[in-house]
Structure 1
Amino acid sequence: MRKPRVSIKQVAKHAGVSIATVSHVLNNKGNISDATRKQVRDAAQDLGFIPNRNASRLRSGQSLLIGLVVNDISNPFFSELAADVEAVAADAGYLSVMANSRDSLERQKTVIETMIGQGVAGFIISAASGSDETTFEVLKEHGVPFVLCVRDIATYAADFVGFDNFQAGVLVGRHLLERGYRDICFIGGDQRNINRTDRLNGLLHALGQQESGICIHLDMPGPATQKGGFEATLSSLKRAPRTDALVCFNDYVAIGAYEALYKLGKRTGVDVAVIGFDNVPESAAWNPPLTTVELFPRTIGRRAVIALLARITDNGSAFERVQLPPSLVVRGST
């Protein structure tokens, strides 16, 4: 049976002082003698009293809700990010509420406006594809603090926490060159997605630094899903049968590529290399284990909450942009 919560009234009675005196001691306010402070604290300790920080915030009118808006709630990358958002927010006395934009600008707008109506204290947002400088003006108009994460809007004045997608593409390109791959196709992802653009540009930069003979056969945008990866792989190898490496927008696209290669009678990691981005937990268990780029979603989640809490405290401070360095995880698929 759950033990009843000790009230401030009980502490006051046990200490032989007024409720107001207990409140002043707990909040370090008022002209209270050291002896009385000790008397109150001893009483609180004797009774097992735990201060309710949330109650004091509610009395002051401060919201305890943080809105987290992500592109694809089914993607393990965002599940990991959300786990640390929730944990850090809870430690600070906040409750995080997650919503799925489904990578739709219209849906993102609806979600944000609904959460504003519910009085959230601030937002952490992974912007839907096609978001630009005008997308989040509604938040500034309402004075609601927010932090962008994962997907950057480079020219927009806002806090951002994410990773260096260009460098991630460079890492992939260098790895493929070192392994001797020469006929490469980039598949999956919305063309409006800045992360996709930066990854592709990083890949091209790495390949362009080498001698001639390197070929990007095809750039095949498409849904960043398992089905999208399956269909893009079939199309790519039909149009460019010499392809010996598939660079996939994310790990979901990569598992679709695995399935397509199996259907075509090709061996992943032997006939055609496959490499992804995100390092979702299950990618290490695939056959063969997937070579991918670790993008540290939990670190992004933690840093984003810390940035938002700072923004809630001081909404007039200078904006901060954080880009974490990626790390290549080499496994059997390359």
Structure 2
Amino acid sequence: MGTPATERATTGEVSSVFAVADRIRTAVESVIEGKNETVTIALSTLLAGGHLLIEDIPGVGKTMLAKALGRAVDCTVRRIQFTPDLLPSDITGVNVFHQGTRQFEFKAGPVFGNIVVGDEINRAAPKTQAALLECMEEGQVSIDGQTWPLEPPFMVVATQNPVDMEGTYPLPEAQRDRFMARVSVGYPDPQAELEMIDTHSAATPLDDIRPATGLSELRRMMAAVRSVHLSPGVRRYAIDLVSATRTSSALRLGASPRATLHLVRASRAYAALDGRDYVIPDDMQALAGPVLAHRLLPSPEAQVERRPPEQVVADITARLPIPS
């Protein structure tokens, strides 16, 4: 997980990442008012090469956030509306027999994009949800014995309603584990909602968003983020955080090794967005909830006590010693 000192990102590279990311942030926040931390985590996930899950009640701007992130970057954006009758081939694509050539021709599905917006992902059946497993982890699609690579960067930004909403299917553990972070938009504060009346009532502000960066520059930013310094002490702190979820009596399923990698990658991006070329424990503390909580399953006792995984993670970060 560590990066050799010779490959450490320079201050100039991180400053460039910070400047461009600030333009992306400004574009997204022109649509999503008063949600600075949510936007920062979304940007961190993008720069870290991960996938983002946005979970909240209907009408608070989940899809708007996903669309704004896609429009702020000049890349290929595809949208999938998940419904109960959606088929796996509607996502990945299908081989169609061509009468003229007497051969099968591959028709790519909407998953072939740089940013794929999956709206209300938990309204599709589990079989259809599983069509994204290979795409999200391996960056490829396998159909009829052939493998089709997805152009990097590839990011799934999925929205979902809480699982107790009518007509929803809970995401399986394997799929939740592939999302680097989960965020909630939440209700806006009164001032932000007042401003929203002026900006959203006449027309959608999405039409005013102009790309803040291109695909080649985004790739350079992601390469610089991967080289942000991670000291041995902070690296050990990441291991301790994840290990504590596996031994907690309040959890019956702890975080996976993939969660450790996601926490490190997201922390590097989070540090770069703060203008630093090194990670500090505060970065991991800020990201522990969004990166770890959605992967955890509470124990029966924690469910009776109404202790959600987010609270368990917060308790772990509060009591875990911080490295010097």
Same fold (TM over 0.5): no
**Over alpha carbons, which structure has the higher Rg?**
1
More helix by share: 2
Q: Under a length normalisation based on structure 2, what TM-score does the superposition of the two structures give?
A: 0.25
Give the structure, 1 or 2, with the largest relative contact order (CA under 8 Å, sep 6 or more). 2
Provide the TM-score with structure 1 as the length reference. Answer: 0.25
